[in-house]
Structure 1
């Protein structure tokens, strides 16, 4: 093999060629190792979806993404389209006492030439009820306020109607409430809100007037906002979540990668409170959490580090099991041959199911034997996982998996608190639901220009959300606020 090389090159030159080739091989090997690691990282990134990470479902069908597998259903059957068995049905019922009645008779002439108006009435043979709304059109009413003089000499002047503003003309509280509802609840941008109001009512308020309603209504809700915040601090368990919002200038502040804010929510099944700020401790200290610290209230959250900060205070925690299950699904993809990710996830789902069933049946606790068996399966799975992942590894996803297992081991009480206390929800899904409108608004309207107006928007949103959770109507409570009588959440019912 060396004879041809020896013939072509002197020995010294041959050694130089070999050294050069060895160096080149080392360079290629290093480049190959780097590209292999980069490819593994990209494949891991593209494999992230709504089932194995916190990505929203809207990103599952993005180019290059690996879609999540279909959810497994009990008995191997997927959910069919339409109404599900046991779900409450709805229908348009025939009312015994309609709002109005109208008799209808045949018109025209009979075949014999007689006018049917003179025919003999034989009674009702068919009845039909039509549910309809009246045609909407803006109505201008002039209110003339009179002054009168009493016999005693005192004078009295009539007040303006509810919701009237200074000046000679203005829009009434119904139209104002409708405009705010469209912007805050239905996420319509200002100009589209104006266009819809004109199409439905004939009124065409200016975009400036409509947008200014946010500041006006939020200014009327100061006391309500404080009361909602106070009532949340009295709750037994509070769900917390945060999401980024594109707000303000497009250029990031110095030291930041993105020009965005964060919207924090603290909520229960009866109350909702929002705070716009950053994802930093200063914002968390300004939130409801600062008043919960050191109390017996349980906070349900996604393990973001600020919830565990000593600077924020001491809390009783419930780690969101929905986030844990997503991370366990990701761990199963990093270790496809391992059984422990599925074992931990199945045990966790089993405990959630038992807790939900116990609440549904009116029981105060899970069956102790079932809880013990599922908890032991959970702990055993965690121990096996820790023995399989003795370090943080080098492949994408290995470090995250190891950290997850350490959390499941070191914070078992915070993971399974819901199984010991049925008053604690296992997930922060209520907070996710209360934040979903913010994500929807971003998809519709894009970047919001003002921090102050955005906080106004979510002060109003928290007021409406709390009222709706109590069974009140969104338009009604907005009108109440605009007429100076904002709806107030009632005192909590003692447990």
Structure 2
């Protein structure tokens, strides 16, 4: 029953009705407070206190991790990149001493005692290099048949672009995220020649086709790996939402585009169903399908951020305690790995016991109080974010703490997140993919370039060799 201000003033039936009215107000206030809290949570959720990616933060200024007043310059232990002299410079310019600055005597005929060296490293202005292929024609003196020498493979048109154009186009479009228009303008500024966007698309498609056998090698190497990272992110393709999936490790990167995010996409990609190693991932439910045989390791960074969300908006002590425990566990693990020893069994037992105790104490915080009798609603009652997060900690304890037991397992899923982050930059710079074919091309070429970078290979040289069919891992 709802009371108006006028009705409140006319209450005269004793304490019972007043008590009922106050109870109704308290219940209504509680509902409003819960709603306000939920709206504040939605507005305040970002990459620091939830599972939302940094790309969703918009123009929010990130909190700097640097402390003011510290020593300027690179941190201690940072490897510098100072120029060093080369033994064989491309050009040597000698500067002679013609006369004495003290007495003005001529020194032209005096032999130098030594040379003081200084080198200038510069980048030459690019220019077009045209290679002409000439095919001889001869006539046989015996039968009179006209013969012509064969052109090299790939030289098929009177005038065409070489492998270098293909390599630069793929590199600028896929790795640096430039749009076709900006790539064409860059070529025009550098060389005075502006290729059409159709030409650039054709070059990207050619690189995509030539990398197919190399992508198979990447997939095979990942399947044989003991530990993998997996993640996915949304892509705007043909005015709709699709998903870019990545399976990766420290040496190899594979991307695949699919219209679904979960199990259907995993099976279409084909890497995860037969994998039997350790997979590091977030807690997306599709990874826990009973069809898969890999072991799970959950991203600790995700869990820390979600604990922070519970701390910020619910004030639960269990989230604070568990966040501190995870950080302590990782600190102990890092120190053990630096020392080249496993984490002590007693330390592991203590951390796991405290893990269980924190969750046991937290039950009272995330379990809502019993509601007064009200008409029952159909369907399953929704759980709070705190209850859902606690359930994950309870169900997946071995996956959460796997880094304590296995030195191969990292604390977080940063490897996959780093490999997938620049895809969002590409989308911001160039806009949505206009076709699924364009997204597939991007995924294969990006995976190849990412693999080259991890293995410290020269990207442009490798793309040229791949275009010629001469590149091998």
* Superposition TM-score, scaled by structure 1 size: 0.79
Does the alignment pair 1:378 with 2:325?
A: no
Matched with 1:361 is 339
Aligned pair count reads: 448
Task: For residue 100 of structure 1, report the CA deviation from its aligned partner.
Answer: 3.5
Aligned 8 A contact 2:246 2:255 in 1: yes
3-state SS of 2:384 partner: helix
Residues in 1 aligned to 2:354 and 2:418: alpha-carbon distance in whole angstroms:
31
Residues in 2 aligned to 1:183 and 1:46: alpha-carbon distance in whole angstroms:
35
Matched with 1:444 is 429
Matched with 1:480 is 465
Q: 2:265 aligns with which of 283, 302, 305?
A: 283
Task: For residue 41 of structure 1, report the CA deviation from its aligned partner.
Answer: 2.2
Residues in 2 aligned to 1:393 and 1:171: alpha-carbon distance in whole angstroms:
74
3-state SS of 1:317 partner: strand
Aligned 8 A contact 1:266 1:288 in 2: no
Residues in 2 aligned to 1:212 and 1:466: alpha-carbon distance in whole angstroms:
23
Task: For residue 170 of structure 1, report the CA deviation from its aligned partner.
Answer: 0.5
Query: Comparing 198-207 with 369-378, which one deviates more in the overlay?
Result: 369-378
Matches within 5 A, 1:67-106: 82-105=73-96
Structure 1's 130 and 159: CA in aligned 2 closer, same or farther, altered over 3 A? farther
1:33-77 Cα offsets, whole Å, 9 max, x none, are: 765444322211222122111334455574xx7x77665x9xx98
Residues in 2 aligned to 1:308 and 1:243: alpha-carbon distance in whole angstroms:
18
Residues in 2 aligned to 1:79 and 1:374: alpha-carbon distance in whole angstroms:
34
Does the alignment pair 1:304 with 2:295?
A: no
Task: For residue 102 of structure 1, report the CA deviation from its aligned partner.
Answer: 2.0
Structure 1's 345 and 174: CA in aligned 2 closer, same or farther, altered over 3 A? same
Task: For residue 464 of structure 1, report the CA deviation from its aligned partner.
Answer: 1.4
Residues in 1 aligned to 2:436 and 2:357: alpha-carbon distance in whole angstroms:
49
Does the alignment pair 1:55 with 2:55?
A: no
Matched with 2:301 is 322
3-state SS of 1:265 partner: strand
Aligned 8 A contact 2:366 2:384 in 1: no
Residues in 2 aligned to 1:318 and 1:471: alpha-carbon distance in whole angstroms:
28
Query: Comparing 142-151 with 312-321, which one deviates more in the overlay?
Result: 142-151
Matched with 1:253 is none
Residues in 1 aligned to 2:137 and 2:450: alpha-carbon distance in whole angstroms:
42
Residues in 2 aligned to 1:158 and 1:291: alpha-carbon distance in whole angstroms:
51
Matched with 2:122 is 132
Residues in 2 aligned to 1:380 and 1:83: alpha-carbon distance in whole angstroms:
42
3-state SS of 1:197 partner: helix
Aligned 8 A contact 2:231 2:247 in 1: yes
Aligned 8 A contact 2:245 2:257 in 1: yes
1:271-292 Cα offsets, whole Å, 9 max, x none, are: 1111101214321211244443
* Superposition TM-score, scaled by structure 2 size: 0.83
Matched with 2:390 is 405
3-state SS of 2:237 partner: coil
Task: For residue 123 of structure 1, report the CA deviation from its aligned partner.
Answer: 4.7
Structure 1's 462 and 157: CA in aligned 2 closer, same or farther, altered over 3 A? farther
Aligned 8 A contact 1:233 1:288 in 2: no
Task: For residue 190 of structure 1, report the CA deviation from its aligned partner.
Answer: 0.4
Q: 1:46 aligns with which of 27, 43, 46?
A: 43
Uncovered stretches (5+) of structure 1, i.e. residues with no partner: 1-13, 251-258, 490-495
RMSD: 3.7
3-state SS of 1:40 partner: helix
Residues in 1 aligned to 2:450 and 2:457: alpha-carbon distance in whole angstroms:
9
Residues in 2 aligned to 1:471 and 1:361: alpha-carbon distance in whole angstroms:
28
1:458-477 Cα offsets, whole Å, 9 max, x none, are: 10111111122222111111
Residues in 1 aligned to 2:421 and 2:31: alpha-carbon distance in whole angstroms:
39
